[in-house]
Amino acid sequence: MQKTFKSAFVILLVLGLLVIMTVPVFAKSDPTPPSTSLRDPVVSPMKLGDTYTSSILEVGYMKGALQKEDQSMAPVGRTDEQFGSNGLVISDLSGKEKVKACFYFSGYNYKWAGTIFRWSGSQWVKQVTTITVDPEGTPMACASGLGNGTYALIIYYWGPQEMSYPTEPPPLHSPD
């Protein structure tokens, strides 16, 4: 009787484990984006009534951008830096009309620094940039007095160097 009970217990245990391992699991997607996702820059006119057109330009489509080994996008000639968000194209300004552009910069408080740059056709040109916060407390890099052109937030890390680890184990030495 006891032998039959042990055998039945083992069979049920094995069947239970098989069921647990073969039952499909479905993950429910989260409809809200993570807080680490990049937000698009915002533009506002310097004077009421000024008209302009702005469009978002994904980093991979910007002129003067190259992809680094770590898959981040860097400005040409500035491989120690990277783009902090999508770019911004401002157009249809006339005469003395100017705009203010702000790029969300959530990494600012975590040993990252950055500046807004304008693409001149051959290089990225630094713009006067100030750091402010939006009503929710998110840091923003802003530049005022901008005209028609392509703009981007270029960022760099100024904190302590990360530890590097060898990509391959050291060779084994055989005893002599």
pLDDT (tens, 9 = 90+) of the chain, 176 residues, equals 677 767 777 777 777 766 676 656 555 544 444 444 568 899 999 888 888 999 999 888 888 888 888 888 888 887 788 888 899 999 999 888 999 999 998 777 778 889 999 999 999 999 999 999 888 888 899 999 999 999 999 988 877 776 666 667 666 666 65
Total domains, the chain: 1
What is the Cα–Cα distance from 34 to 174, expressed in whole angstroms?
Answer: 50
* Boundaries of domain holding 96: 42-157
Helices (H), ranges, the chain: 2-22
Domain contains 53:
yes
Q: Is pTM beyond 0.85 here?
A: no
Tokens of 14: 């094995």
CA distance 102 to 112: 17
Whether residue 162 lies inside any domain: the answer is no
d(CA 130, CA 140): 8
In a domain, 17, yes or no: no
